[in-house]
Structure 1
Amino acid sequence: MLDNYPDVLNVSDVQRVLGIGRKQAYELVHSGNFHVINIGKRIKVSKSVLIKWIEGEKNNHAN
Structure 2
Amino acid sequence: MTTRKKELLSVKEIMDITGLGKNKVYELLHSGEFTVYRFGAKFMALEKDFYDWLYNDKRKKNSYILTVKGLK
TM-score range, shorter chain: 0.7 to 0.9
Q: TM-score, normalised by structure 2?
A: 0.65
Cα shift at 1:55: 1.6
CA distance in 2, matches of 1:7, 1:18: 17
Q: Which runs of 5+ in 1 are unaligned?
A: 1-5, 59-63
Q: TM-score, normalised by structure 1?
A: 0.73
Segments of 4+ moved more than 4 angstroms: none
- 1:16-36 Cα distance to aligned partner (Å, 9 max, x none): 101111111111001111110
* Identical columns (%): 26
Cα RMSD between the aligned structures? Answer: 1.4
Q: Which runs of 5+ in 2 are unaligned?
A: 1-5, 60-72
